[in-house]
């Protein structure tokens, strides 16, 4: 097991996903955010089965920064109960894992 996690998030629109991703990277809460548009979700919400198009975000960060990143996502997210889950990374190429660690300090960074 490593100290790196991938955080899986869904958002209603690509633009919202991009705003969340940019904030997390700018604030050094994520080394990288992959944005995958075009997902179709079927889910139960408030007693009814719903379906919607969504966008997936995969956030690469450190375990220690998960709570802070999740809080920031909740601040920016339009859903009442957004999907924000941490998936442990059990192994990886050492240089890649180190890049994630070096890129994520949780301190505000400069705008690109």
Task: Give the mean pLDDT of 53-76.
Answer: 98
Residue 64's domain comprises 4-42+51-103
Q: Provide CB contacts within 8 A for 109, sequence distance 6+.
A: 25, 26, 27, 28
Residue 111 lies in a domain: no
Does residue 111 surpass a pLDDT of 80? no
Task: Give residue 112's pLDDT.
Answer: 33
Residue at 76 is within a domain: yes
Residues 59 and 100: beta-carbon distance below 8 Å: no
Q: Domain with 21 in it: what CATH number?
A: 3.30.70.120
In a domain, residue 112? The reply is no
| 56: nearest Cα among 76, 31, 84, 80 | 84
The pTM of the full predicted model, rounded to 2 decimals, is 0.91
Inside any domain, residue 108: no
Tell whether 66 is covered by a domain. Answer: yes
Res. 110 pLDDT band, cuts 50 70 90 = very low
For residues 3 and 90, is the Cβ–Cβ distance under 8 A? no
């Amino acid at each position: 097991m490593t100290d790196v996690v991938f955080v899986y998030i869904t958002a209603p629109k690509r633009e919202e996903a991009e705003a969340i991703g940019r904030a997390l990277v700018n604030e050094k809460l994520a080394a990288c955010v992959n944005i995958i548009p075009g997902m179709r979700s079927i889910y139960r919400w408030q007693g009814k089965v719903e379906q919607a198009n969504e966008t997936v975000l995969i956030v690469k960060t450190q375990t220690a920064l998960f709570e802070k990143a999740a809080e920031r996502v909740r601040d920016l997210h339009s859903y009442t109960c957004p999907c924000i889950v941490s998936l442990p990374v059990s192994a990886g190429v050492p240089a890649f894992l180190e890049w994630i660690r070096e890129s994520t300090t949780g301190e505000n960074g400069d705008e690109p």
